[in-house]
Amino acid sequence: MTQRQEFRVLRTYGDFEVREYKPCVVAEVKVSAQYSIATSSAFGSLFRYISKGNQASEKIAMTAPVIAAQRAESSDADEWFVSFVMPAGSNSEHLPDPNDPNVHLRELPTETCVALSFRGKATEELSTKKALELRAAAAKEKISLSNETRICRFDPPVKPGFLQYNEIVIPAYLDNSLV
Protein backbone atom coordinates (compact mmCIF):
# COMPACT_ATOMS: atom_id res chain seq x y z
CA MET A 1 0.00 0.00 0.00
CA THR A 2 1.18 3.51 -0.77
CA GLN A 3 2.45 5.37 2.28
CA ARG A 4 0.33 8.39 3.25
CA GLN A 5 1.20 11.68 4.86
CA GLU A 6 1.15 11.19 8.63
CA PHE A 7 -1.35 12.95 10.88
CA ARG A 8 -3.45 12.41 13.97
CA VAL A 9 -7.08 13.38 14.35
CA LEU A 10 -7.53 15.97 17.10
CA ARG A 11 -11.29 16.27 16.81
CA THR A 12 -14.06 15.07 14.54
CA TYR A 13 -16.98 17.33 13.67
CA GLY A 14 -20.02 16.26 11.64
CA ASP A 15 -18.58 17.19 8.25
CA PHE A 16 -14.83 17.38 8.82
CA GLU A 17 -11.83 16.60 11.01
CA VAL A 18 -9.26 18.77 12.74
CA ARG A 19 -5.87 17.12 12.22
CA GLU A 20 -2.32 17.62 13.34
CA TYR A 21 0.01 16.83 10.46
CA LYS A 22 3.51 15.67 11.37
CA PRO A 23 6.52 17.52 9.95
CA CYS A 24 7.39 16.39 6.45
CA VAL A 25 9.26 17.28 3.29
CA VAL A 26 7.54 17.91 -0.01
CA ALA A 27 9.00 17.95 -3.50
CA GLU A 28 7.18 20.82 -5.16
CA VAL A 29 6.75 22.46 -8.56
CA LYS A 30 5.19 25.89 -9.07
CA VAL A 31 2.88 25.98 -12.09
CA SER A 32 1.09 28.89 -13.72
CA ALA A 33 -1.88 27.16 -15.33
CA GLN A 34 -5.56 26.52 -14.90
CA TYR A 35 -6.35 23.89 -12.27
CA SER A 36 -7.48 21.41 -14.92
CA ILE A 37 -3.92 21.11 -16.26
CA ALA A 38 -1.75 22.24 -13.32
CA THR A 39 -1.30 18.80 -11.75
CA SER A 40 -0.53 17.02 -15.01
CA SER A 41 1.91 19.81 -15.94
CA ALA A 42 3.92 19.27 -12.74
CA PHE A 43 3.47 15.51 -12.35
CA GLY A 44 6.19 14.53 -14.85
CA SER A 45 8.88 16.61 -13.11
CA LEU A 46 7.90 15.27 -9.69
CA PHE A 47 7.68 11.67 -10.88
CA ARG A 48 11.10 11.90 -12.55
CA TYR A 49 12.55 13.22 -9.26
CA ILE A 50 11.38 10.17 -7.29
CA SER A 51 12.31 7.85 -10.20
CA LYS A 52 16.07 8.48 -9.98
CA GLY A 53 15.86 11.97 -11.55
CA ASN A 54 18.01 13.36 -8.77
CA GLN A 55 21.70 13.95 -8.04
CA ALA A 56 22.10 10.52 -6.39
CA SER A 57 20.10 8.64 -9.07
CA GLU A 58 18.15 7.29 -6.08
CA LYS A 59 14.62 5.90 -6.28
CA ILE A 60 12.29 7.46 -3.69
CA ALA A 61 9.03 5.76 -2.67
CA MET A 62 5.79 7.18 -4.04
CA THR A 63 3.46 8.47 -1.34
CA ALA A 64 -0.06 9.85 -1.27
CA PRO A 65 -1.56 12.31 -1.73
CA VAL A 66 -0.55 14.41 -4.71
CA ILE A 67 -1.32 17.93 -3.52
CA ALA A 68 -2.34 20.91 -5.65
CA ALA A 69 -2.36 24.03 -3.47
CA GLN A 70 -3.08 27.67 -3.87
CA ARG A 71 -1.08 29.59 -1.31
CA ALA A 72 -2.50 32.31 0.87
CA GLU A 73 0.09 34.86 -0.27
CA SER A 74 -0.63 34.38 -3.99
CA SER A 75 -3.01 36.74 -5.76
CA ASP A 76 -2.83 34.79 -9.05
CA ALA A 77 -5.80 32.41 -9.43
CA ASP A 78 -3.76 30.30 -11.87
CA GLU A 79 -0.71 29.87 -9.61
CA TRP A 80 -0.54 26.33 -8.22
CA PHE A 81 2.02 24.52 -6.11
CA VAL A 82 1.89 20.81 -6.92
CA SER A 83 3.72 18.50 -4.55
CA PHE A 84 4.55 14.95 -3.59
CA VAL A 85 5.04 14.27 0.11
CA MET A 86 8.35 12.52 0.73
CA PRO A 87 8.38 9.30 2.81
CA ALA A 88 7.90 9.70 6.57
CA GLY A 89 11.09 10.52 8.42
CA SER A 90 12.67 12.31 5.44
CA ASN A 91 14.44 15.61 5.85
CA SER A 92 15.80 17.83 3.12
CA GLU A 93 19.41 17.31 4.26
CA HIS A 94 19.19 13.57 3.52
CA LEU A 95 17.19 13.71 0.29
CA PRO A 96 19.05 14.00 -3.00
CA ASP A 97 18.88 17.29 -4.85
CA PRO A 98 16.57 17.29 -7.88
CA ASN A 99 18.06 17.32 -11.37
CA ASP A 100 15.12 19.43 -12.59
CA PRO A 101 15.51 23.09 -11.52
CA ASN A 102 11.70 23.38 -11.30
CA VAL A 103 11.52 20.85 -8.46
CA HIS A 104 12.15 22.29 -5.00
CA LEU A 105 12.32 20.51 -1.66
CA ARG A 106 10.50 22.23 1.19
CA GLU A 107 10.23 21.22 4.84
CA LEU A 108 6.84 21.66 6.45
CA PRO A 109 6.56 21.98 10.23
CA THR A 110 3.90 20.36 12.41
CA GLU A 111 0.66 21.90 11.24
CA THR A 112 -2.97 21.92 12.36
CA CYS A 113 -5.47 21.72 9.51
CA VAL A 114 -9.11 20.99 8.84
CA ALA A 115 -9.88 18.23 6.34
CA LEU A 116 -12.95 17.17 4.39
CA SER A 117 -12.98 13.85 2.51
CA PHE A 118 -14.96 13.24 -0.66
CA ARG A 119 -15.30 10.79 -3.52
CA GLY A 120 -15.41 11.67 -7.18
CA LYS A 121 -13.08 13.13 -9.77
CA ALA A 122 -11.48 16.18 -8.17
CA THR A 123 -12.52 18.63 -10.87
CA GLU A 124 -12.19 22.36 -10.28
CA GLU A 125 -15.96 22.63 -9.85
CA LEU A 126 -16.25 19.80 -7.30
CA SER A 127 -13.09 20.82 -5.43
CA THR A 128 -14.25 24.44 -5.16
CA LYS A 129 -17.66 23.29 -3.91
CA LYS A 130 -16.06 21.05 -1.25
CA ALA A 131 -13.62 23.79 -0.18
CA LEU A 132 -16.52 26.21 0.30
CA GLU A 133 -18.41 23.55 2.31
CA LEU A 134 -15.36 23.00 4.51
CA ARG A 135 -14.85 26.73 5.08
CA ALA A 136 -18.54 27.16 6.00
CA ALA A 137 -18.49 24.17 8.39
CA ALA A 138 -15.30 25.43 10.08
CA ALA A 139 -16.73 28.95 10.39
CA LYS A 140 -19.83 27.50 12.06
CA GLU A 141 -17.49 25.97 14.67
CA LYS A 142 -15.61 29.30 14.97
CA ILE A 143 -12.39 27.88 13.54
CA SER A 144 -10.22 30.45 11.75
CA LEU A 145 -8.65 29.26 8.52
CA SER A 146 -5.79 30.28 6.28
CA ASN A 147 -6.53 31.46 2.74
CA GLU A 148 -4.56 28.47 1.44
CA THR A 149 -6.52 25.54 0.01
CA ARG A 150 -4.99 22.13 -0.71
CA ILE A 151 -6.66 19.65 -3.03
CA CYS A 152 -5.28 16.24 -2.08
CA ARG A 153 -5.72 13.41 -4.56
CA PHE A 154 -5.02 9.86 -3.45
CA ASP A 155 -5.84 7.79 -6.52
CA PRO A 156 -4.35 7.55 -10.01
CA PRO A 157 -6.30 9.33 -12.75
CA VAL A 158 -7.02 5.98 -14.46
CA LYS A 159 -9.24 4.90 -11.56
CA PRO A 160 -12.91 5.55 -12.38
CA GLY A 161 -13.83 9.05 -11.22
CA PHE A 162 -16.70 8.02 -8.95
CA LEU A 163 -14.28 5.78 -6.99
CA GLN A 164 -11.52 8.36 -6.53
CA TYR A 165 -10.79 9.42 -2.93
CA ASN A 166 -9.81 13.04 -2.29
CA GLU A 167 -9.56 15.56 0.51
CA ILE A 168 -9.66 19.31 0.88
CA VAL A 169 -7.14 20.38 3.54
CA ILE A 170 -6.88 23.92 4.88
CA PRO A 171 -4.43 25.16 7.53
CA ALA A 172 -6.26 26.30 10.67
CA TYR A 173 -5.55 28.75 13.48
CA LEU A 174 -6.89 27.19 16.66
CA ASP A 175 -6.91 27.94 20.29
CA ASN A 176 -6.62 24.84 22.48
CA SER A 177 -10.24 25.00 23.64
CA LEU A 178 -11.44 23.95 20.18
CA VAL A 179 -9.59 20.63 20.07
Domain span at 89: 3-178
Cα gap 42→56, rounded to integer Å: 21
Mean pLDDT of 1-8: 85
Q: What pLDDT score does 31 carry?
A: 95
85, containing H or E segment: strand 79-85
Cis peptide leading into residue 65 (ω within 30°):
yes
Greatest C-alpha distance within the chain: 49
Q: How far from 65 is each of 2, 73, 86, 169, CA to CA, in Å?
A: 9, 23, 10, 11
pLDDT at 17: 98
- Convert the pLDDT of each residue in 73-100 to its tens digit: 666 678 999 999 999 989 889 999 999 9
- Summarize the confidence of residues 142-164 as an average pLDDT: 94
Domain of 43: which CATH number?
Answer: 3.20.80.10
Asked whether 137 and 14 are in contact (CB, 8 A), the reply is yes
pLDDT given for residue 77 in this prediction: 73
Q: Which amino acid is at 70?
A: Q
pLDDT score of 173 more than 60 = yes
- DSSP annotation of 23 reads P
Per-residue pLDDT tens over the stretch 20-53:
999 999 999 999 999 889 999 999 999 999 999 9
Tally of domains in the chain: 1
